[in-house]
């Protein structure tokens, strides 16, 4: 349950039953970490939120108003997780979207009780569908991730890696991936067919670029993993986490790669 919620500028504890986000997943969202009242990486998240709204032809929220509502949920200086959802608002039955309708929802949640120090990732049996029109967008229809997280719970593991229908590695169930080749080149899976472009992935790419290192976005296959000496998984709540093993491939330099990326991000914040 959310600790508190603001819907269209008003304190509330429920969403109307005819909300399009509830009925069809017709909306987008972002999840941000808040440390002692300070919202982390706000500008990057808002940039991604605006991008995703545009992809669904949703009006982008007023940034100043959204910031004020978000800060109000953490006015006591506490830490936690901020979730922002933009839906197409209320609408009748049927897929055709109503014109000009939009709903803004911000909610506060506690931080996870624990974050793994390192990850050992097996392949998820859930395949990510390819839909170029929605690739990269953090839309509300996340059933693939829900099923994948359910499989993780059944297996007693903290995370797993996910592939598309062609067997290309896309992400984990809730994190983006970046890899370091033995020649020093950084690679992250291309997300032109499936997957979510996370804000922390963008921050890492920007930080590496500022350090003079380009991150290559390209297909990553299981057969390619031997060329990498490090793998790091990341999202906005847990930050970068070293990957010890992905499938049958172990990575010897993931810990040092994670420390390097963490330091770069701090320098660029």
CB 115 within 8 A of CB 125: no
Percentages of the chain per state (helix, strand, coil), in multiples of 5: 30, 30, 40
CB 159 within 8 A of CB 150: no
Predicted confidence (pLDDT) per residue in 196-220, tens digit: 999 999 999 999 999 999 999 999 9
* Residues recorded for the chain: 269
Predicted confidence (pLDDT) per residue in 106-124, tens digit: 999 999 988 889 999 999 9
Q: How far apart are the first and last CA of the chain?
A: 31
Q: How many CB atoms lie within 10 A of CB 15?
A: 16
| CATH of 4-109 given 3.40.190.10, 3.40.630.10, 3.30.470.10, 3.30.980.10 | 3.30.470.10
Rounded Cα distance, 91 and 242, in Å: 44
CB 200 within 8 A of CB 41: yes
Reported as type and span, the H/E element at residue 239 is: strand 239-246
In this structure, what DSSP letter does residue 139 have?
A: B
What local confidence, expressed as pLDDT, does residue 268 receive?
74
CB 56 within 8 A of CB 139: yes
Q: Would you write out the chain's pLDDT as a tens digit for each of its 269 residues?
A: 456 999 999 999 889 999 999 999 999 999 999 999 999 999 999 999 999 999 999 999 999 999 999 999 999 899 999 999 999 999 878 898 888 789 999 999 999 988 889 999 999 999 999 999 999 999 999 999 999 999 999 999 999 999 999 999 999 999 999 999 999 999 999 999 999 999 999 999 999 999 999 999 999 999 999 999 999 999 999 999 999 999 999 999 999 999 999 999 987 77
Quote the CATH superfamily of domain 119-268.
D-amino Acid Aminotransferase, subunit A, domain 2 (3.20.10.10)
Rounded Cα distance, 82 and 60, in Å: 18
CB 19 within 8 A of CB 90: yes
- Closest to 233 measured CA to CA, from 252, 251, 258, 211: 258
CB 45 within 8 A of CB 135: no
Locate 263 and state its tokens. 């330091």
Domain ranges of the chain: 4-109, 119-268
CB 131 within 8 A of CB 257: no
In sequence order, which residues have a C-beta less than 8 Å from that of residue 263 and are 6 or more positions away?
Answer: none
CB 252 within 8 A of CB 229: yes
Rounded Cα distance, 32 and 44, in Å: 10
Pairing, β 103-109 against β 215-218: unpaired
Rounded Cα distance, 126 and 117, in Å: 25
């Amino acid at each position: 349950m959310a600790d508190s919620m603001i819907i269209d500028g008003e304190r509330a504890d429920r969403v109307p039953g005819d909300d399009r986000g509830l009925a069809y997943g017709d909306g987008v969202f972002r999840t941000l970490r808040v440390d002692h009242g300070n919202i982390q990486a706000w500008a990057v998240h808002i940039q991604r939120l605006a991008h995703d709204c545009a992809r669904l032809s949703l009006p982008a929220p007023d940034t100043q108003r959204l910031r004020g509502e978000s800060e109000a949920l953490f006015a006591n200086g506490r830490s936690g997780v901020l979730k922002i959802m933009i839906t197409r608002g209320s609408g009748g039955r049927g897929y055709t979207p109503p014109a000009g309708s939009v709903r803004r929802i911000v909610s506060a949640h506690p931080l996870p009780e624990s974050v793994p120090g390192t990850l050992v990732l097996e392949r998820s049996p859930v395949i990510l569908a390819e839909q170029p029109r929605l690739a990269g967008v953090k839309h509300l229809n996340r059933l693939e991730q829900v099923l994948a997280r359910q499989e993780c719970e059944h297996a007693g593991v903290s995370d797993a890696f996910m592939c598309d229908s062609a067997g290309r590695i896309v992400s984990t169930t809730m994190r983006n991936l970046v890899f370091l080749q033995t020649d020093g080149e950084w690679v992250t899976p291309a997300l032109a067919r499936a997957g979510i472009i996370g804000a922390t992935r963008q921050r890492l790419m920007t930080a590496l670029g500022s350090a003079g290192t380009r991150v290559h976005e390209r297909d990553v296959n299981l057969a390619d993993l031997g060329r990498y000496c490090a793998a790091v998984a990341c999202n906005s709540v847990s930050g970068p986490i070293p990957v010890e093993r992905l499938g049958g491939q172990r990575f010897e330099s993931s810990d040092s790669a994670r420390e390097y990326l963490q330091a770069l991000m701090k320098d660029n914040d």
